[in-house]
Structure 1
Amino acid sequence: MNQFIPCGLVPRLAVTVVLVLVAARCGGGGPTTPPPPIPTLTIACPTAEPVQSTDNNPRVVTFGTAVATGGVGPLTTTCSAASGAEFPVGTTTVTCTAVDARGVSALCTFPVVVRPPPRLTGTRFLAFGDSITWGVDSPPIPAAAPSFAYPEQLQQRLAARYRLQTPQVINVGEPGEQAQDGGIRRFRSVLLQHRPDIVILMEGTNDLLSLEVGIERGIEALRDMIREAKGQNVRVLLSTIIPQRMNGFRVPNRNPFAVLVPPFNDRVRALAASENVPLVDMFQVFAADMSLLGIDDVHPTVRGFQVMADTFFEAIRANFEQQVAAGVGGLP
């Protein structure tokens, strides 16, 4: 039974076991299983977050690694530019290539965007208002037109961002002024004198000394100022006035006037909407942190002026910044 039987000489009456042995020895079995197919070689590129150039010079950009799958290992992956390299202003296309052991390759591309420096649609700002604009801080250290007044700090922030331009913030705040009186009387002449592109208008705190009638007259004065500015092709950034502390440190307290600030600001918000000018809600900023008010219950602290400058800066970015689109191949 264990003897070798040449192919083709198996007796017809051979037992089944012999037939099976002969068939296996003579290659007469079923079809062989083919090798599994080789997965297609693919490569996935990373993404790069856009970065901003502040001075039109190249910027360092970092991104992840390209990931290759499939093919026959080992795989090698290379990119035309490395993460951490400097890229010029504009859009640069980075190509990544994967090669497997057979020499089969696959590629992918992704953009690296370096945005050109931002630009303002107007660079000459006029800060118009009362002592809060002028820069009177709250005791114990009151000062006249100090360097920490919000217009001076705002100019520093604008100069740091808009490096290819020369932003200027002119402080024409007038301590003790009411919008209905000195404000409206001097507004036109101040615009003609300084010829701003944009006026930052925040006034009305002293109008509330006239109680309810001050609300009406103050709002009417603000409306006339806005329309005067529009007539001179000057854009307006209108702000609510900051709160006054109820039951505060002053004797007598400012309660009769403090309660009028919210309804006055409601009218300011409505005025901004009706005149189609952007609004900065400085009231809400201070109401969220009353420590920004000093011990006189009405003027900002030094930190309060810093917050004012930051808030106006963000409003200017949102309303008066012209973002230049990045070009291709490093050209804006």
Structure 2
Amino acid sequence: MSETFRVGTRGSALATTQTGWAAKRLAQSSGLEVETILVKTEGDVITGPLSQLGGTGVFAAALRQHLLDSGCDLAVHSLKDLPTKQPEGLVLAAIPEREDVRDALCARDGLKLSELPEGAKIGTGSPRRAAQLLAFRQDFQIVDIRGNVPTRLGRVKGIGDTHDDGSVGRSVQGDLDAVILAAAGMRRLGLDKHITEYLDPQIMLPAPGQGALALEVRSTGSDHPALDQALADLDHLPTRMQVEAERALLAALEAGCAAPIGALARVEGQTLILEAVACNPDGSETMRRSAQSNGLSVQAAQELGRSLAESMIADGAAVVAGLV
């Protein structure tokens, strides 16, 4: 009888889809069977704006505790939702190759961002997205929303209730002109047909770690050598360097994943380039900076993130972003 490893996940369609993708890859590589464990997190049961739900990690805490208590051998997270400080006893064993990093506009009538009417109502639960939208156009009305991806899509006029399979129900809420969602999540769910524009990072820098998954195990390993090797094989060094730079910047700015901070790193040849933006929550002021490192290593990436953050802090980024 084959050994079985247990993978923990939240119960949302996106979480189970992401976990299913990772579990399948690991099962194929390791030769092990897989059992999925559903874990309800605080972020799934508390209502209210996401930015006010107790800071970073609100969706990850229960899943991590389940992993620490040996209720599962592996947890799969959206990396952008994880606090920058790694908890004692857990390690990110693998960060697979990143999906599309961009934010996506899902608007009525196929409209692009510049084509939305004056005073258009745009839904998002992210202060980072809200600030950059207002920096682009002050007339936008930002509406705080939460819920899973189909629920958010259902708020857009003409889209209605979009089910997990991409179909549209008869009930139409339609109180918004558009919503902003992560392109990666839309693509993973097969809902990218509703994207009317992939937002250029020059307009909207994504969240640090956006588009990347984090596969987490106990520091002592998963208790399955074949799984540990499969995790090592799935780890994608270019993606890990990118997100390490972005998250090091976020940590040095002492900003959580709900802060109006965007960051995106990319590898060009032997150079790692990091771009970052700090925004006033009302979009009235933004500070955008970039830096590069000629060393391609995780350590060099972390140093690049910290160095750029220190430069931005010296120029007043914390004041701009309302972090002090």
Task: Please say whether Structure 1 and Structure 2 have the same fold, judged by a TM-score greater than 0.5.
Answer: no
Q: With CA pairs under 8 Å and 6+ residues apart, which has the higher RCO, 1 or 2?
A: 2
TM-score with structure 1 length normalisation?
0.21
Query: Larger Cα Rg: Structure 1 or Structure 2?
Result: 1
